[in-house]
C-alpha cells in the first residue's frame, strides 16, 4: 500500500481577518492588529463551564461563543462576579469571543478584552446555526494538507487523482476527459486536504487553477477553451489511478480482485495501477474505472457477482456429471 504520510503535511492556521470577512462579523472591540490574529483550532466552544471557573479541560485555541444561555447566566451575576469571570476567560489567551444574536456586549467583557487584548466580535445569527456554519468553514480552512504531483479530474461525479512519473500522459489524459464532458480540478500540483475522518478534498493552487501544461504546446487555459462547465474548483478524492510504463515482467491485476489502496493523510483511498503502452485509450479506461467505483459505492461488486456465477456454473456442471 502506498503511503502519503511521509510527504510534507502542513498544520494550517487562518487569519482572524479572513473569518471576520467571510462570516460578516462586526468588530465590537479589537486591537489594531486584530485582523492578523491567528485561529488554529476548528473547534468552537460555548464557555459555560469556564464561566463557572472550570478550566481543567479548557482549550485556549478555540473561539468562544456567547449566546442566550450564557447571557442569561451572566445577567444573574453581579458586576464584580462578571468581571472576575471575564478576566479569567480572556486571560487564557483565546483567539476571540463572538457574541451571537446581536446581543449587547457586557461592559465587564470589554474591560477584560482591552486588558488581555482579546478581540470581541458579533453576529446577528442564532447561536446553534452560526456555530455549525463556523465549524464547517474552519474544518476546511484548517484541515491537514499536503501538495502532490498529479492531476485531479471529476469523471461521472467520481474524483480521480491521476498519478505517475512526468511525461507519462497525465495531462493529455485529462484533456481527453475534458473533451468527453468531464471536468478538470487541478493539473501538475494538487493540494489535498483532509476535511473529515473519511473525506479528502483536492484543489489547485490559485496561480495554476484551470490551466494545463502540454509539452510542445505550453500552458492551456481549459476554462477559456472548453467553457466554465469544463472546470471545477474542488472535488473529493474517491479513487487514485497510477499510470506506469508497461512492464512485461510484471503480473497485473486482470480480474479486479486486488484491493490496492493509497494512504493519504491517514485515509485509505482505493487505487488502480494502469500499465501504459501504445494503443490503450486511457480516457475510456478511466471512465470505466469511475463507473466501477460508483457501482462499488452503491453496493455492487462485479468480481463478487462473477465469482457467484462461476460457482453456480461449477455446481451445475458437477450435478450434471
Check if the beta carbon of residue 173 is closer than 8 Å to that of residue 286.
yes
Statement to judge: residues 154 and 103 lie in one domain: no
Same domain (yes/no): 164, 131 = no
Among 82, 85, 148, 170, the one annotated catalytic: 170
In a domain, residue 196? The reply is yes
Residue at 313 is within a domain:
no
Both 240 and 268 in one domain: the answer is yes
Domain identity same for 222 and 255: yes
Answer whether residue 266 is part of any domain.
Answer: yes
Per-residue burial over 82-112, b if 16 or more Cβ lie within 10 Å, else e, is bbebbebbbebebbbbbbbeebebbebbebb
Length of the chain measured in residues: 321
Residues 133 and 184 both lie in one domain: no
Judge if 39 and 71 occupy the same domain.
yes
Is 37 in a helix, a strand, or coil? coil
Q: Are residues 171 and 274 in the same domain?
A: yes
d(CA 172, CA 21) in angstroms, rounded, equals: 39
Would residue 156 be called left, alpha or beta, if left means φ above 0 and alpha means ψ between -120 and 50 degrees?
left
Do 63 and 95 form a contact (C-beta atoms < 8 A)?
Answer: yes
Q: Is residue 39 part of a domain?
A: yes
Residue 190 placed within a domain: yes
In a domain, 321, yes or no: no
Measuring CA to CA, how many Å separate 151 from each of 29, 83, 148, 162, 218?
A: 45, 55, 9, 5, 16
Query: Could you tell me what percent of the chain has a pLDDT over 90?
Result: 72
Tally the C-alpha atoms within 13 A of residue 266's C-alpha that lie toward its C-beta. 11
The helix/strand count (H/E) of the chain reads as: 10, 18
Q: Catalytic residue among 198, 248, 250, 254, which?
A: 254
* 317 occurs within a structural domain: no
pLDDT at position 78, please? Answer: 97
Asked whether residue 203 falls in the same domain as residue 96, the answer is no
pLDDT (tens digit, 9 = 90+) per residue, 145-176?
899 999 999 999 999 999 999 888 899 999 99
Q: Is residue 26 part of a domain?
A: yes
Domain boundary among 141, 163, 182: 141
Domain shared by 232 and 184, yes or no: yes
Average pLDDT, the chain: 90
282-297 and 170-179 helices cross at what angle (nearest 10)?
70
pLDDT at 252 over 70: no
Whether residue 157 sits in one domain with residue 127: no
Q: What is the mean pLDDT of residues 233-253?
A: 86
What would the pLDDT profile of 255-282 be if each residue is shown by its tens digit?
666 678 999 999 999 999 998 887 788 9
- This prediction has a pTM of 0.73
The verdict on 91 and 110 lying in the same domain is: yes
Cell numbers representing residue 147 in the block: 501538495
Range of the domain at 265: 145-305
- Same domain, residue pair 273 and 124: no
Q: What pLDDT does 110 receive?
A: 97
Q: Which of 106, 141, 176 is the last residue of a domain?
A: 141
Is 254 an annotated catalytic residue?
A: yes
Angle at which helix 79-90 crosses helix 107-116, to 10 degrees, equals 30
Question: Is 315 assigned a catalytic role?
Answer: no
Single residue among 141, 158, 174 that ends a domain in this structure: 141
Q: How many CB atoms lie within 10 A of CB 279?
A: 4
Q: With residue 194 as reference, give the H or E element that holds it.
A: strand 183-194
What's the CATH code of the domain at 36?
Answer: 3.40.1390.20
Q: How many domains does the chain have?
A: 2
From the list 38, 126, 129, 149, the catalytic residue is 149
Of 111, 188, 261, 294, the active-site residue reads 188
Amino acid at each position: 500500500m502506498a503511503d502519503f504520510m511521509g510527504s510534507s503535511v502542513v498544520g494550517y492556521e487562518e487569519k482572524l481577518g479572513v473569518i471576520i470577512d467571510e462570516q460578516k462579523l462586526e468588530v465590537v472591540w479589537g486591537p489594531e492588529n486584530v485582523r492578523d490574529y491567528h485561529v488554529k483550532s476548528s473547534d468552537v466552544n460555548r464557555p459555560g463551564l469556564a464561566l463557572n471557573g472550570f478550566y481543567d479541560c479548557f482549550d485556549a485555541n478555540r473561539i468562544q461563543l456567547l449566546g442566550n444561555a450564557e447571557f442569561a447566566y451572566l445577567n444573574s451575576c453581579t458586576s464584580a462576579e462578571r468581571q472576575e469571570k471575564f478576566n479569567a476567560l480572556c486571560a487564557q489567551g483565546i483567539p476571540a469571543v463572538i457574541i451571537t444574536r446581536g446581543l449587547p456586549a457586557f461592559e465587564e467583557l470589554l474591560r477584560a478584552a482591552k486588558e488581555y487584548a482579546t478581540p470581541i466580535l458579533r453576529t446577528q445569527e442564532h447561536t446553534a446555526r452560526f456555530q455549525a456554519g463556523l465549524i464547517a468553514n474552519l474544518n476546511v480552512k484548517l484541515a491537514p494538507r499536503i501538495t502532490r504531483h498529479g492531476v485531479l479530474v471529476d469523471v461521472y461525479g467520481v474524483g480521480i487523482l491521476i498519478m505517475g512519473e512526468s511525461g507519462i500522459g497525465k495531462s493529455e489524459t485529462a484533456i481527453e476527459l475534458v473533451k468527453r464532458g468531464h471536468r478538470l480540478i487541478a493539473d501538475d500540483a494538487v493540494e489535498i486536504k483532509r476535511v473529515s475522518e473519511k473525506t479528502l478534498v483536492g484543489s489547485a493552487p490559485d496561480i495554476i487553477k484551470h490551466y494545463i501544461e502540454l509539452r510542445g504546446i505550453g500552458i492551456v487555459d481549459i476554462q477559456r477553451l472548453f467553457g466554465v462547465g469544463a472546470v471545477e474548483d474542488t472535488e473529493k478524492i474517491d479513487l487514485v489511478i497510477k499510470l506506469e510504463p508497461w512492464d512485461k515482467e510484471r503480473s497485473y491485476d486482470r480480474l479486479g480482485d486486488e484491493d490496492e489502496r493509497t494512504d493519504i493523510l491517514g485515509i485509505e483511498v482505493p487505487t488502480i495501477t494502469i500499465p501504459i503502452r501504445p494503443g490503450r485509450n486511457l480516457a475510456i479506461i478511466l471512465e470505466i474505472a469511475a463507473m466501477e467505483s460508483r457501482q462499488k459505492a452503491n453496493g455492487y461488486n462485479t468480481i463478487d457477482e462473477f465469482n457467484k456465477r462461476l460457482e453456480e456454473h461449477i455446481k451445475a456442471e458437477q450435478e450434471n456429471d
